[in-house]
Structure 1
Amino acid sequence: MIRRILVALDPDTDTRTAVRYASELARRHGASVTGLAVVDTGHIEASIRGGGIGSMYYAVKLREQLTEEAHLVARRLIEEFDAVADEEGLRHRNTVAEGVPFQRIIEDMKYHDLLVVGKEPHFFYSHPEEKNKTLVRVVHESVGPVLVVGEVYRAIHRVLIAYDGSAAAARAIQRFAQLKPFGTEVALEVLTISEDTSEARLMLSLMEEYLQEHGFILNTTVRSSESVAEEIVRFAEEVKADLVVAGAYATSGLKRWLFGSSTSALLEKTTLPLFIYH
């Protein structure tokens, strides 16, 4: 059961999509929604460092200007969020906070069941083109699951679950099954990529029993591929999935897919919404 949903607000277009998903989930579960806008004062401070004593006056003025600009954007985002929530008749609250975005989001997630956030959050409102690693850090450290969405809204009818037998993947599936964010009427496609077909079939049969006990109808598939990422993307397109469920700390190739290099390779390879849990 989902009772409290947190939406991280930022200037990106995918934030509007995040609010729409949160609204849909709130109506389905009778949940309340919290809109959180964080002014990244740490990033602002870092952007004005440098220069000698003579430049301190200008640094102070620049800090004040950037902070005020960021607060103006944050207040606008809150106003837009409140307008949507009021129109939808949702129970809602809002917060504008200063600090390090991922820390504030993680703290607030201690008191929410689900975080909904856009794929490319830019919480440094004065310069939204500057990307950061907020999303990756949030997924790694959040106590609850994260629904990551892109710019385009799509109704969730078919869900692809990437399962490699790891504890991380199992935890993600359990949270999805327990919360039932989109109900049990969604069709599940559980995919395992393995060279050992017999072992994979055994894992899938056990997971199938578990998900059926939670009221889901599902299909299971075993594939063999050298590239976990590419195969999951191909399979998602093949079955016309609307959402991917995955664990954040899998020890297989899925881990490298989720958090390869400095940004999440998973977010770069698919436009589908992602339900991620560690």
Structure 2
Amino acid sequence: MARILACTDGSIYAPSIYGHAAWAASRLNAAVEVLHMLDRHPGAAREAELSGAIGFDASQDLLRKMVELDEAQGRLAQQRSRAILEDAEWVLRAAGIAEVTLTLRHGALVEALPEFEKAADLVVVGKRGEAADFAKGHLGSNLERVLRTSICPVLVASRAFKPISRAVIAYDGRAASRKAVEYLARRPLLHGVSVHLLTVGNAGTDEEGLAEARFRLGEAGLDVHMQILPGRPEDVIARVVAESGADLLVMGAYGHGVLTRMFLGSVTSTLLRECRVPALVFR
């Protein structure tokens, strides 16, 4: 059975993450595992910082109170985490997903992801998390790390979920975009969705590869419109997404060199920030 891994931190993107996970699971006939990571307990670091700062007696009394406070905060964090997972389960089951697994782990998402995505067909994360700077439009730090390291396609949830009826596939002929085409041709994720297959470049730019991609998707039963447009990729793709009323952007990202693994690609980063629709990203 296919499996969707939905990663949540309980931020305002959480309902959208569950909505997108439910949408994908219903189309792929998949189970959903909801993963919530609880930050490691910071008490020890604070205790070390206090050492030598004040007198012995006062230090011991303060340390005791800090330990009690840390324990209380730890219990509260556990309760919050359970509430987040229970809310996710309620939303997913209400959406008709029969098999839902809840997992709570301590640590960082990027450290746990390799273990959990081994059994996943798709990872769902929010565009931003609790710590993101919304005013500056920054992407969540977890998102950037997940996109750099995940071996699975990553569905990046937008601020709010809405049914997906139109999709733009940004196709550049590279391995990641070919992987996207093959993934979508082999699975019913976009069946019934109007697909705009877009390449940015001059006339004659990999027309053969684009035609092959269109044929592969059409052979799988998708309704595909093909187009080549000139211009800067990030500008053209963002414009087509907006003007076509697309509900989803599909794109490849990242190469295999050292630098491309270290940094989020500029085109990918720009599109994730500027486009207000969810993005299905392949690497």
Amino acid at match of 1:51: E
Gaps of 5+ in 1: 125-129, 259-263
CA distance in structure 2 between the partners assigned to 1:250 and 1:30 by the alignment: 31
Give the drift of 1:241.
0.9
- TM-score under structure 2 normalisation? 0.82
- What is the match of residue 139 of structure 1? 147
C-alpha distance after superposition, 1:179-217 (max 9, x if no partner): 3323x211111111113x113322211211221222212
- What is the match of residue 36 of structure 2? 37
The structure-2 alpha-carbon separation of the partners of 1:232 and 1:88, relative to structure 1 and needing over 3 Å to count, comes to closer
Tell me, what secondary structure is at the counterpart of 1:181? helix
Give the drift of 1:169.
1.6
C-alpha distance after superposition, 1:197-239 (max 9, x if no partner): 11332221121122122221211111111x2212111011122
CA distance in structure 2 between the partners assigned to 1:102 and 1:49 by the alignment: 27
CA RMSD, Structure 1 to Structure 2 (Å): 2.9
Identity, % of aligned pairs? Answer: 27
Give the drift of 1:149.
0.9
Give the drift of 1:119.
0.8
- What is the match of residue 199 of structure 2? 192
Aligned 8 A contact 2:165 2:247 in 1: yes
Aligned 8 A contact 1:166 1:250 in 2: no
Give the drift of 1:49.
8.1
Amino acid at match of 1:174: E
Tell me, what secondary structure is at the counterpart of 2:197? strand
Aligned 8 A contact 1:39 1:123 in 2: no
- TM-score under structure 1 normalisation? 0.83
- What is the match of residue 270 of structure 1? 275
CA distance in structure 2 between the partners assigned to 1:268 and 1:144 by the alignment: 21
Give the drift of 1:123.
7.8
The structure-2 alpha-carbon separation of the partners of 1:49 and 1:131, relative to structure 1 and needing over 3 Å to count, comes to farther
Aligned 8 A contact 1:40 1:101 in 2: no
Aligned 8 A contact 1:112 1:144 in 2: yes
- What is the match of residue 102 of structure 1? 110
Tell me, what secondary structure is at the counterpart of 1:165? coil
The structure-2 alpha-carbon separation of the partners of 1:132 and 1:246, relative to structure 1 and needing over 3 Å to count, comes to closer
The structure-2 alpha-carbon separation of the partners of 1:165 and 1:88, relative to structure 1 and needing over 3 Å to count, comes to closer
- What is the match of residue 202 of structure 1? 208
Gaps of 5+ in 2: 54-58, 133-137
Aligned 8 A contact 1:34 1:94 in 2: yes
Equivalent pairs counted in the alignment come to 262
Q: How does 1:229-240 map to 2 (within 5 A)?
A: 229-240=234-245
- What is the match of residue 169 of structure 2? 161
Amino acid at match of 2:267: W
Return the index of the structure with the highest Cα Rg: 2
Give the drift of 1:47.
7.7
Give the drift of 1:170.
1.2
- Range that drifts further, 46-55 or 86-95: 46-55
Amino acid at match of 2:218: Q
